[in-house]
Chain A
Amino acid sequence: MTNSKPGLLVPRRQALLGAAAVAASPLAKPFIANAEAAEPIKIGLLLAKTGGIAAQTEYLANGSYLALEERGNKIMGKPAELVWLDEPSPQGSQQNMRRLVQENKVAAILGGSLSSNGLAEQATAAQLKIPFVCNNAAATEMSGKNCNRYTFRLNTPVAVQAAMFAPYLMGYGKKWYFITANYAFGQDIAKSFKEILHKAGGTIAGDDSVPLNTPDYSSFILKIREAKPDMILGGVPAGDLSTFLKQWNEMGMKGKIPICEIAIGDTDIWAVGTEAATGLYTSLWWYDNPANPPEEKAMAAAYLKQYGKPAADKTWMGWVAAKSLFDAMDAVKSTKADDIIRGLESWKGGTKENPYYWRKGDHQMLLRNLVVQVKPKVTDKWNYFDVKGMVPKDVADLEKVFGDPVANGCHMT
């Protein structure tokens, strides 16, 4: 039972109030428009929050936030913010990417901490027509046969890193033992280096494909010890590499057989400890590299001041991926996908002597890699590496080393 009078659907007082509100609505328009103007530009951050890779994503995220803070938390002169969602699995990452686009209305997305996630996310980016700057995944296909015009990939593809790293490895001998993780990243490493070893006339002393998150490597280490290889070619990611190196040292193997791997993170080595760390690796950036340009030195100093510890390679990767996106948006003054893509394709970073940029043909970042080696005696809990060289040696060889996009299988659509 209601109090309204029969025959009148809306009580007279409410009808009057409603009419008054409709009549007055134009008066409110400027305030609504102002509220829209104050709505920040949102950029999605899609990085794992838990699991073994979280050690790296912490730095990737910090680098991304630092890039935004450096410009006063503004893009195109408007307030901007990062919205960070998790990457629990390839499927979960795709769902969260949809949430970022459909619920949070982000203009672009940064992320892709693992190759398996990155591959899934780049397909979703193409479906959703959203610019996706992948800041960590290294699987070769991402800028090869799986490339698409919405995805920009920062990390150097596994096959390219393998080709650049190979001359350093041949000095150890040609009898290699492969220990690689049994998912996209590890399989890619095994395939690329086996091709190189085969061409060089080398032999495979052993080939173990290891499950992710293996807590105990002692049985694998016993096999390696028995096989007596010249060198170990690793392809185990993040925390798994730390565990392997700890147990390698614990079983008295450190210094007996060289360990080499590509695309490691500084955090993987920091977790090992000064006594157990060993190996020769490729990396994209090292905070103590004297060749770092002033802008990157300033970023590293800001990071040290804010977090009380040195910036890792992943900090730089998070920072440069985000910076290139924000710079691109500033340049094109637009949040539309096509404009952002155009802006990213024109973006350039680094110095004249050592530039890096997104290649138009496959949206792969072309940049020189570092070859780093753990110091013979580590005395500082952060400063583990000596930089052995930059590859390719001549910056003019960048295009050649990364290969032709079409020959790599990329047919941009």
Chain B
Amino acid sequence: MLALILSQMATGLVLGGLYVLIAIGLSIIFGQLGIVNFAHGGFFALGAYFALSLYNQFGWPAVVLAPVLVGLVGMLVERTLIHRLYDKEPLISLIVTFALALMIEALLQRIYGGVGRPFSQPPILNGIYLWGPLLITKYRLAVFLLCMAILVALWAFMQFTPYGRILRAGSRDPEMVGLLGIRLPRVLTAVFGLGCALAGIAGVLAAPLWTVIPAMSEMAIMPAFVVVVIGGLGSFAGAVIAGLLVGVVSALTVQFEPDAANAVMYVFMAIVLLLRPRGLLGERWERFE
């Protein structure tokens, strides 16, 4: 039994890594822009579908091109729609992004149809590793390592580059950043694009594992919100810890109480919020109080 539990924990960590990647873009967009982006799952699905379409034209480079394209679509959406919401009631941004999510799903259904599209991982990543009782597939291990590498790169970008410093300052005091002569609107467009591109990467990585259907956006958005809320809205480290925890808790629940496998993350969220209403690493942000 111990061996199986260890296997389940390893599987949960890998799933958690994917949840983190989906959630981190959502967290960045909320942290920097103050927008709760309900359409994030839509950008996740766009990543999978763009990879599918581009693969037919360009082969494997499509997995790099697809998130870039999702990021560009995100920037376009920010310029045409999202930037109008910055000084509005939060409820309006919820409604608008929810409508956007429905629109993206309907658009995908219109273009690609409702039938799932097969998409396989690169042949080099076929197969499994068996280490004693532990079983992990080559593809899942690669996904986990890639997720961690992206997160480290993102953290380094935010901490050590001038651009990252502008982002962090802008999230706390946008007026002051503006007074310093920095054109914040452009920065915000780039941030929204970055968040969407991260969702796109997650979509590309999930495509060989999940069924590529327009409704895959719904499967991604709820775990992403749970992870962001548990971690603390806008907290990078919080989202990473919460994502991995949610993955492990879900996997262990499958072992002992499979009926509750999807519900357990919400119970976990409720417990965390009862004990710590701002989430695990959530801070008090005057801008949002």
Residues of A within 8 A of B (CB): 49-52, 54-59, 182, 208-211, 213-216, 218-220, 222-223, 225-226, 239-240, 242-243, 246-247, 250-252, 267-268, 270-276, 381
Asked if B258 contacts A216 (CB within 8 A), the reply is: no
Asked if A226 contacts B4 (CB within 8 A), the reply is: yes
**A218 CB to nearest chain B CB (Å):** 5
Asked if A211 contacts B106 (CB within 8 A), the reply is: no
CA distance A160 to B163 in the complex (A): 65
CB-defined contacts of B213 to chain A, threshold 8 Å: 52, 54-55, 239, 271
Asked if B209 contacts A58 (CB within 8 A), the reply is: no
Contact of A50 among B106, B121, B127, B208 (CB under 8 A): B106
CB-defined contacts of B218 to chain A, threshold 8 Å: 51, 213
B93 interface hit (Cβ, 8 Å): no
The chain A residue sitting closest to B119, CB to CB, is A273
B59 interface hit (Cβ, 8 Å): no
A sample of 25 inter-chain contacts (CB < 8 A) reads A52-B211, A54-B109, A57-B114, A208-B254, A210-B258, A215-B210, A215-B220, A219-B251, A219-B255, A219-B261, A222-B135, A240-B211, A242-B211, A243-B211, A246-B210, A246-B211, A250-B140, A250-B208, A251-B135, A270-B115, A271-B116, A271-B211, A271-B213, A275-B120, A381-B118
CA distance A272 to B211 in the complex (A): 7
Residues of B within 8 A of A (CB): 4, 7-8, 11-12, 14-15, 105-106, 109, 113-121, 127-128, 135, 137, 139-140, 206, 208-216, 218-220, 223, 250-251, 254-255, 258-259, 261-263
Asked if A216 contacts B211 (CB within 8 A), the reply is: no
CA distance A54 to B116 in the complex (A): 9
The chain A residue sitting closest to B18, CB to CB, is A216
Contact of B11 among A215, A218, A271 (CB under 8 A): A218
The chain B residue sitting closest to A216, CB to CB, is B15
CA distance A215 to B220 in the complex (A): 8
Contact of A223 among B4, B12, B105, B115 (CB under 8 A): B4
CA distance A246 to B251 in the complex (A): 18
CB-defined contacts of B4 to chain A, threshold 8 Å: 222-223, 226
CA distance A313 to B105 in the complex (A): 25
Tell me whether A54 and B11 are in contact in the complex, defined as CB-CB below 8 angstroms, given that A211-B263, A239-B116, A274-B118 are known contacts: no
CB-defined contacts of B105 to chain A, threshold 8 Å: 50
CA distance A405 to B173 in the complex (A): 72
**B84 CB to nearest chain A CB (Å):** 27
The chain B residue sitting closest to A48, CB to CB, is B114
CA distance A381 to B223 in the complex (A): 33
CA distance A182 to B115 in the complex (A): 23
Asked if A272 contacts B118 (CB within 8 A), the reply is: yes
The chain B residue sitting closest to A206, CB to CB, is B258
CA distance A243 to B216 in the complex (A): 11
Given contacts A56-B114, A213-B262, 5 further A-B contacts (CB under 8 A): A213-B218, A215-B206, A218-B14, A223-B255, A243-B211
Which 8 A-B pairs have CB atoms at the shortest separation, nearest pair first? A271-B116, A273-B118, A54-B114, A219-B254, A211-B262, A242-B211, A208-B258, A55-B115
**B68 CB to nearest chain A CB (Å):** 25
CA distance A170 to B284 in the complex (A): 62
CA distance A318 to B144 in the complex (A): 43
CB-defined contacts of B115 to chain A, threshold 8 Å: 55, 58-59, 267, 270-271
**A402 CB to nearest chain B CB (Å):** 31
CB-defined contacts of A219 to chain B, threshold 8 Å: 8, 11-12, 250-251, 254-255, 261
CB-defined contacts of B137 to chain A, threshold 8 Å: 250-252
CA distance A52 to B11 in the complex (A): 24
**B152 CB to nearest chain A CB (Å):** 24
CB-defined contacts of A214 to chain B, threshold 8 Å: 261-262
Asked if B114 contacts A215 (CB within 8 A), the reply is: no
CA distance A252 to B115 in the complex (A): 25
**A247 CB to nearest chain B CB (Å):** 6
CB-defined contacts of B14 to chain A, threshold 8 Å: 218
Asked if B8 contacts A267 (CB within 8 A), the reply is: no
**Which of B109, B120, B211 lies at the interface centre, i.e. has the most chain A CB atoms within 10 A of its CB?**
B211
CB-defined contacts of B215 to chain A, threshold 8 Å: 50-52, 54, 213, 239
CB-defined contacts of B219 to chain A, threshold 8 Å: 213, 215
**A182 CB to nearest chain B CB (Å):** 6
CB-defined contacts of B119 to chain A, threshold 8 Å: 273
**A125 CB to nearest chain B CB (Å):** 25
CB-defined contacts of B109 to chain A, threshold 8 Å: 49-50, 54
CA distance A218 to B211 in the complex (A): 14
**B47 CB to nearest chain A CB (Å):** 15
Contact of A58 among B113, B251, B262 (CB under 8 A): B113
Contact of A222 among B11, B206, B216 (CB under 8 A): B11
**B243 CB to nearest chain A CB (Å):** 13
CA distance A251 to B125 in the complex (A): 11
Asked if A218 contacts B116 (CB within 8 A), the reply is: no
CA distance A271 to B211 in the complex (A): 7
CB-defined contacts of B206 to chain A, threshold 8 Å: 215
Contact of B116 among A51, A55, A252 (CB under 8 A): A55
CA distance A275 to B125 in the complex (A): 14
Tell me whether A210 and B7 are in contact in the complex, defined as CB-CB below 8 angstroms, given that A51-B215, A222-B135 are known contacts: no
CB-defined contacts of A59 to chain B, threshold 8 Å: 115
CA distance A336 to B14 in the complex (A): 59
CA distance A219 to B248 in the complex (A): 10
The chain B residue sitting closest to A51, CB to CB, is B215
Asked if A216 contacts B209 (CB within 8 A), the reply is: yes
Asked if A250 contacts B261 (CB within 8 A), the reply is: no
CA distance A219 to B215 in the complex (A): 22
